[in-house]
Amino acid sequence: MRKTTWGRTSILLFSLAFFTLAASTVRANPDWIYQRELTVTSTRATDAAGFQVLVELTPGNFDYSHANADGSDLRFASTSGAETFDLDHFIETWTPGGTSRIWARVPNVPASGTMSIFLRFGNPAAATTSNFATTFPNAFVSSGAANLGGVQNFDWFEVKAGDTITVTAGAALEVTARNVVIAGTVNANGAGFAGGLAGSVGGGPGGGIPANPLIAGSGGGSYGGVGGTGGFDPSESPGTGGALYGTTTGTDFALGSGGGASDLNFGGNGGGAISIVAQDLAVSGTLQSDGGSAQQPGGGRGGGGGSGGSIVLTGFRLTVGGTLSATGGGGSIGTSAANDDGGGGGGGRIKLFGEASLDNTAVLNVGGGAGGPNGTGGAGQTGGVGTTHSDLVTVNFEEITVAVGPERGPESVTIAQPKRFKATFVRKKSRPQLLRMTNPGFIPLSAVSARTLGKSARDFRVKVPSPTLAPGASMNLSVTFKPSQKGSRRASLIVSSNLSSATLRLVGLGK
């Protein structure tokens, strides 16, 4: 407590031992002593209900020394200084001294506007309440092998390392999620358009074309690269690759086309299609949409390989490592040099789009499939190389961002120290002194009361205008002096609240 000079008004600042204010889950429990306001800004045209907002903490916006070493004391609330922590959260990564990613689930984020939520911390005794299931109730997290296809909408989509998701044949896998993490494998090999059968053209817009007449090898399927020509003997006309389709730089995706069939050997299936759209998208595993090989061994006249399919990744923040593959399948290989082998499938298309950021260290493979080596007039040809593209573009994500505000910690309540009361006639009441009481903290004070103690306690009266004091608010305590006898009169004024209490000295002179 600071010393004061009697006869002048001064400010009394109570030490943390007396009037520390802190966020708490239970009233009068000042265990969480720090708070930061988080400003949530939405560019969405509609409200976002049950939305997970990403809070990124760095040494630039957060003092890690004020939180537990493992982040176990982090809590989230919808109001400042609330009695309960009503927002679920999940700590994805916690990196003291670096960047930590924490998700908080907000009941509703208003369209095209801002709102505030509050981060509390600073309780060494707190156990973690990080909970993935309650923060992301609509989640897909792999647990071994699984089949998946078609349109899939999740809050969170994760393929763990060592797990494999096999894409359903004939149906592009279209994943839209708030957050995507792929450390395992997504396999769409041969899941595209079917290869031809019994001398037919392969399925899809770029299906491989059989020889006409069916006396030579068939062509491979085409997509991003042209399917290879089939093997042939002199004077024969082999089958050829189909037409290219799709775009190199657009966000479109498609199944790969099947290879053409000979009269003896079927063509390979095209690779499947994988489209993933997420606000935060990270790949460190393997994505595959390779075309299938034609019938092996071929013999006689070979079928063409299927083309590679498509992999299109679109993220507001996109990080891609690992391996992405959309190669063409191989053509049939015969059993002797007298055979006419099939052409290889063309490569597919891989496209990466980031808006705020794009970090690409992945190995991308869109090579054409190998043609069979046989044909006295010419061997089956390797399919053409497909296309790759990566770029920072404006995708117009309806983004919701979080800005971390300044830290608010223990702040002492201030009360103006009372002056010495002027000499007052016995049994006459003095004019009241007004003592300004201010709550600079972020927790509302409740049960505010005042009483006097000491031999002359009855000579002093204090009135408290309200039992509560909101954060940032002030009120005047009224103190009067009515001496019961002459001479110096002294008492202690005790001011209490739900969180703490403090003591001031009262002095007057009776005459």
Which portions of the chain are predicted below pLDDT 70?
1-30, 83, 396, 398
The domain that contains 115 carries what CATH number? 2.60.40
- Note the pLDDT of residue 98: 97
Cβ proximity of 102 and 179 under 8 Å: no
Tokens of 77: 């609330």
Instruction: Specify whether the CB–CB gap between 246 and 283 falls below 8 A.
Output: no
Q: How far apart are CA 489 and CA 481, in angstroms?
A: 9
DSSP 299: -
Range of the domain at 158: 140-396
Query: Looking at the DSSP assignment, which residues form a beta bridge with residue 115?
Result: 40
> What is the pLDDT at residue 251?
93
Where among 73, 105, 136 does a domain terminate?
136
Q: Quick check: is 19 in a domain?
A: no
| Residue 134 phi, psi (nearest 5) | -80, -25
Q: Are 218 and 304 in contact (CB under 8 A)?
A: yes
Last residue of a domain, one of 117, 136, 155: 136
Rg (CA), the chain: 37
What is the pLDDT, as a whole number, of residue 166?
98
Q: In what order do the strands lie in the sheet with 487-496?
A: 449-453, 487-496, 501-510
Residue 377, both tokens: 């007039």
Do 146 and 119 lie in one domain? The reply is no
Cis peptide before 483 (omega within 30 of 0): no
Q: At CA 251, angle to CA 250 and CA 254, rounded to 5? A: 100
The number of distinct structural domains making up the chain is 3
By the 10 Å C-beta count (0-12 exposed, 13-18 middle, 19+ buried), 162 is classed as exposed
462 DSSP assignment: E
User: Position of tokens 């407590």?
Assistant: 1
In order of 47, 79, 81, 175, the CA distances from 112 in angstroms are 8, 21, 26, 25
Q: Alpha-carbon distance 391 to 396, whole Å?
A: 14
Full-model pTM:
0.79
Identify the pLDDT of residue 396: 67
**Phi, psi angle pair for 356, to nearest 5°:** -80, -35
pLDDT the model gives residue 20: 32
pLDDT at 444: 80
d(CA 392, CA 275): 17
Cross-strand pairs, 101? 56, 93
Place of tokens 């002095």: 507
Q: Are residues 356 and 484 in the same domain?
A: no
Residue 435 is part of a domain; what is its CATH number?
Answer: 2.60.40.10
Is the distance from CB of 88 to CB of 20 less than 8 angstroms?
no
pLDDT at residue 303, as a whole number: 98
Q: Report residue 63: phi and psi, to 5°.
A: -95, 100
Q: Is residue 13 part of a domain?
A: no
Same domain? 47 vs 129: yes
Relative to beta strand 164-167, strand 185-187 is: parallel
- Give the pLDDT score at 27: 32
Q: How far apart are CA 120 and CA 32, in angstroms?
A: 6
Residue 38 and residue 56 in contact, taking contact as beta carbons nearer than 8 Å:
no
Say if residue 86 is in the same domain as residue 168: no
How far is residue 381's CA from residue 370's CA, in Å, rounded to a whole number? 7
**Residues 272 and 187 grouped into a single domain:** yes
34 and 131 together in one domain: yes
3-state DSSP call for residue 123? coil
- According to DSSP, the residues that pair with 12 across neighbouring strands are 415
401 located within any domain? no
